Structure 1
Amino acid sequence: MRPRRQPRIAALLLAGLLSACQQEPPPPVPQNGYGATERAFVELSIATDEQALKLVDDPSLIENREAELVELRKLLDAPYVNNHAGHDMPGMPTDAEIQLASTSPDARKQFVHAHLTEQLEVLRSAGTAITHPPTADVVKLMESHRTAELTLTEP
């Protein structure tokens, strides 16, 4: 399990991830407010939720991820390309973690808890960076999901 990160580190990490994952310089923010930061968040969140669906086995967590994916995909302004496949980022379960979790209930419990905790930190950081209202609403939805899920999955 990954060590707990400080919120400041999560904020810096989110900013770095959002800029590092861009293949090209970001375009100017369009009039509707959906810009490079929002798109990077949406793409990262889709990749994270898709990986999480391979890890989680609780029906409410599965339902939440599927609902989030529907809302996230609505925000896309271009076809989705997973630029994060194989990355090891906070909140995103790795393939190795998913594999180990499939054979060890204790490992699954630890990895799910790490996913929820780390994802909540990323979402809180995103909440301060996202200015596009529909994207901010999805951030709030995801944050409320993670907060509730942590109480359901306490060790």
Structure 2
Amino acid sequence: EAKKLEDASTYLSLPSTKIELEEKGHSATGKSMQNLGSCTISKDSFQISTLVCSTKLTQNVDLLGLLKWRSNTNLLQQNLKQLMKVDGGEVVKFLQDTLDALFNIMMENSESDTFDTLVFDALVFIIGLIADRKFQHFNPVLETYIKKHFSATLAY
């Protein structure tokens, strides 16, 4: 029986859903085993579950608003305030992008001090997160960012 399944054409033409099974004239109900041509199929089933975790896209609307701040500058003040309410795990996943956004906000709004305090508070929030025991393993990521990626001259 197992030898029959070594040839892919034997099983690739078999129905893969209940609807396909019924379309081919076989009952999807009945006894536990059904003979379909030369292959016997049992009613055993399995379930696959997946968890997708993106490091480029976030589902958090508050963090996404900050990361895409240029597309709606009218909400920038609100997005900066909301950052402090975002789950720490989500912030550290997007640490470099978040820091880039904060420093770009500071650099591109240098003629006004409207966002300075909010950006500063956001940076303190992020540093506080990484200092927290729960996220301390992100400390090397922050250090690497500072040494290799940080380039906001006005932030000094």
Tell me the TM-score normalised to structure 2 length.
0.35
Q: Which has the higher contact order (CA 8 A, sep 6+)?
A: 1
Which structure's CA Rg is the greater one?
2
Structure with higher strand content: 2
Higher helix share: 1
